[in-house]
Amino acid sequence: MDKANEGKDQLIIIEEKISKVNGEMAVKKYLRGKLLGKGGFAKCYEVTNLETKKIIAAKIIPKQTLTKNRARQKLISEIKIHKSLNHQHVVAFEHVFEDHENVYILLELCTNHTLNELIKRRKRLTELEVQCYVVQIVNALKYLHSHKVIHRDLKLGNLFLNEKMEIKLGDFGLATKLEFDGEKKHTICGTPNYIAPEILDGKTGHSYQVDIWSLGVIIYTLLIGKPPFETPDVKTTYKKIRNISYGFPENVPISDQARGLITRILNIDPQRRPTLDEIMSSSFLNTGGTIPKVLPLATLACPPSAS
Ligand code: ADP
């Protein structure tokens, strides 16, 4: 990025320098727009490709934050996995390049934020909305798992909504690709409220079923308005997860179909959790064509009308 351009009211242009076979340099220019959000290391901006006028999201990671080998390897793995994916419900990976200061990851822009902002705004969602989102998430997971990828950080904040209100699963920072289907992973990772008990246990190793567990936590959170194992401190949350200690509040109505699916997913034994196909054909999702493909934009602020 051009340092001289970093003033407050000035346009900030990001330049991608591409060396051509004949030794000449080509330059692609992007106009940096508004800040979309901040992550652990990265800042994410809206950017416009000045040649095509296409507006995308740019995750900008300062190289200063990549001095440790571990951080570098993690970013390389995130890029390698995300780049290999192409699905309607996965944030599209457009391009990656670097300059002296930063690594730039260009992604499909998701203008309607994440399910995290949605639940903060709406408190909880109707069953129809949850059914609509869960079908899309299950489709994304079926795609990932069939490509031997486990996401391992499935949570509301990593489920984006694009301008058409389609779900886009993003952030592959903790994802892993298995060499073979029976392989077990041992790295402890995830986000406290959503982490599966076999990851906490650490002995047996974990696999695809950790994403199914997180999906169960997501379904509960969307319907009830708060995560099932939430407590003020992480240790107590982990204890609750290990003991599968959660309940359904009496003041929030929930159907038997939804409650049954959540209960079957939040099973201590990963092998006894339903598969993605079983979730798709469960009575919660297999309703004979009543679930809409996408929801109206107005549902960002209020529940869909009953009509
Ligand atoms: P993390 O550090 O959790 O990996 P990211 O760096 O991936 O977070 O993203 C930081 C923030 O940038 C997100 O919380 C979100 O607000 C925003 N963001 C990330 N990707 C996109 C995208 N494709 N479209 C719109 N906003 C995005």
Determine contact, residues 268/197, Cβ cutoff 8 Å. yes
49 residue type, one letter: N
Q: What is the mean pLDDT of the chain?
A: 95
Q: What is the three-class DSSP state of 59?
A: strand
Work out which ligand 1 atom sits closest to the CA atom of 111.
25
Q: What amino acid occupies position 218?
A: I
Tell me the chain's radius of gyration from C-alpha atoms: 21
Q: What is the pLDDT of residue 68?
A: 94
Specify the 3-state DSSP secondary structure of 305.
Answer: coil
Question: Rounded to an integer, what distance in angstroms lies between the CA atom of residue 286 and that of residue 145?
Answer: 21
Pick the catalytic residue: 2, 9, 153, 269?
A: 153
Average pLDDT of span 34-45: 93
**Token representation of residue 294:** 């996408």
- 3-class secondary structure, 193: helix
Summarised one tens digit per residue, pLDDT across range 94-141 is 999 999 999 999 999 999 999 999 999 999 999 999 999 999 999 999
What atom in ligand 1 is closest to the CA of residue 42? Answer: 6
Identity of the residue numbered 228: P
Q: H/E/C letters for each residue in 91-124?
A: CCEEEEEECCCEEEEEECCCCCCEHHHHHHHHCC
Give how far Cα 200 sits from Cα of 186, 197, 245, Å: 10, 5, 15
pLDDT, tens only, 234-293: 999 999 999 999 999 999 999 999 999 999 999 999 999 999 999 999 999 999 999 999
Predicted confidence at residue 5, as pLDDT, reads 47
User: Binding site annotation covers 17?
Assistant: no
Under a CB-based contact definition with an 8 Å cutoff, are residues 81 and 37 in contact? no
Which pLDDT belongs to residue 9? 65
Is 153 an annotated catalytic residue? Answer: yes
Number of neighbouring beta carbons within 10 Å of residue 178: 16
pLDDT tens for each residue of 169-195: 999 999 999 999 999 999 888 889 999
Instruction: Kindly report the length of the chain.
Output: 307
Tokens of 168: 């886009």
- The Å distance, Cα 39 to ligand 1 centre, comes to 6
Q: Are 106 and 247 in contact (CB under 8 A)?
A: no
3-state DSSP call for residue 71? helix
Using alpha carbons, select from 210, 184, 226, 218 the residue that is nearest to residue 267: 210
- What's the rounded mean pLDDT across residues 6-34? 88
